[in-house]
Structure 1
């Protein structure tokens, strides 16, 4: 049952990526919406879930929050190292600051997150049908944002469209693979919570330090800001409907 439900996430992810692909002539709006979706996913879904699942504290601070900060710093470190390496070898004319490896790394992290979405669906169905259905609704709804963000993150860093589509299909297939894995293994809840915190920190860095500044760089329009707000509100509605 969990694998069949995960097929809905597969289709929704492709729908999100297709939407990002079709509106390239409104790139600033795409990036603004992607930033809002990423912010909403982190603040309204990933972080609360990680705090609830991880549970333990380290020196008075929830382990999930420590990993959240670690994820933010890790994303910053990876980007700086890749940018430094590109500068040392000479960036191509007109592509300064655009490191394709960062986009691929971010997209790969999205694929990993989508796989964990599938694991969450499978684990929820192990608890009961009602729990599984609730988790499935949340996952399928926000996988539109995952597909949208995976394609956008890959493209915004200068990767070819073919690479972006490859990462999109990998992201779409990941929930199905994750759900199938729960037929054989069980992921401990604290480990899942820690992963969500780490991924949330990395995703927030990409949204705040890269995606949103890029969205407003050439088009500081009110419509871009409205897209960002709309993206965050959409995730809020999804989370509220799932609960």
Structure 2
């Protein structure tokens, strides 16, 4: 059953990516919405789940929060190192690095894989739990597809690469759900991953996507799209609970 439901997530992810492609003439609105969706996913979905699952504290701080900060710093470090490397080879250090977009999109794929694992685990617990998680996964996979295509394209990658990452992101929940038929991942490991991934995702939203959205079009409509994106994730989380 989980694999069948994951096919719905597959389709919803593709719909999200298709939507991101079709509104290129409103790029600032797309980026504003993507930033809000990512902010909502991190603050309202990933981080609470990570804190619950990771468990242990280190010097009085939940392990998930330490990994969250670590993920943020790691994303910042990777981007700076790539920029320095490009500058050493004569390129503009301010120019966006395509590898950063591909790395971020790959992280989204891993996140979608974990969504599929969570979906499969929920159906193992019971039908009611499975239905609740299925609703959350299918709904917010629209945001995942939207963000995966947007992030890959934003960093200057070719359209075919953006589509390839979108397809991989769409397929990931199906693979994750199927994997639960033969294995189970420790909850603490999943919580640690979510914390680290959330920090990296927040860095991309706050340091890259939102500034880019407001750079050429500091319009009220862009801000409203950001708020709408975060509110959409809040709605999804509320319905799932």
Q: Shorter-normalised TM-score: what interval?
A: over 0.9
**2:232 alignment counterpart:** 234
Count of aligned residue pairs for this structure pair: 241
Q: Is 2:20–2:30's contact at 8 Å kept on the other side of the alignment?
A: yes
Deviation string for 1:176-234 (max 9, x for gaps)? 00011111110111111111101000000000000000000011111100000000000
**2:29 alignment counterpart:** 29
In the superposition, the TM-score normalised over structure 1's length comes to: 0.97
Task: Find the aligned partners of 1:78 and 1:131 in 2 and give their Cα distance.
Answer: 38
Task: Find the aligned partners of 1:30 and 1:135 in 2 and give their Cα distance.
Answer: 27
Q: State how 1:35-46 maps to structure 2 within 5 Å.
A: 35-46=35-46
Task: Find the aligned partners of 2:38 and 2:61 in 1 and give their Cα distance.
Answer: 24
Task: Find the aligned partners of 1:49 and 1:17 in 2 and give their Cα distance.
Answer: 25
Task: Find the aligned partners of 2:47 and 2:210 in 1 and give their Cα distance.
Answer: 20
- Look up the SS of the partner of 1:205 in the other structure: helix
Q: 1:96 deviation in Å?
A: 4.1
**1:216 alignment counterpart:** 214
Q: 1:91 deviation in Å?
A: 2.3
Q: Please list every run of 5 or more consecutive structure 2 residues that lacks an aligned counterpart in the other structure.
A: none
Q: Is 2:83–2:94's contact at 8 Å kept on the other side of the alignment?
A: no
**1:204 alignment counterpart:** 202
The answer to whether the aligner puts 1:176 opposite 2:174 as a matched pair is: yes
**2:101 alignment counterpart:** 103
Task: Find the aligned partners of 2:17 and 2:152 in 1 and give their Cα distance.
Answer: 11
Task: Find the aligned partners of 2:152 and 2:218 in 1 and give their Cα distance.
Answer: 22
**2:82 alignment counterpart:** 82
Deviation string for 1:83-119 (max 9, x for gaps)? 1111212227xx9421000000000000000000000
**2:126 alignment counterpart:** 128
The answer to whether the aligner puts 1:150 opposite 2:155 as a matched pair is: no
Q: Is 2:13–2:169's contact at 8 Å kept on the other side of the alignment?
A: yes
Task: Find the aligned partners of 2:189 and 2:94 in 1 and give their Cα distance.
Answer: 38
The answer to whether the aligner puts 1:115 opposite 2:91 as a matched pair is: no
Q: 1:161 deviation in Å?
A: 0.6
**1:138 alignment counterpart:** 136
In the superposition, the TM-score normalised over structure 2's length comes to: 0.98
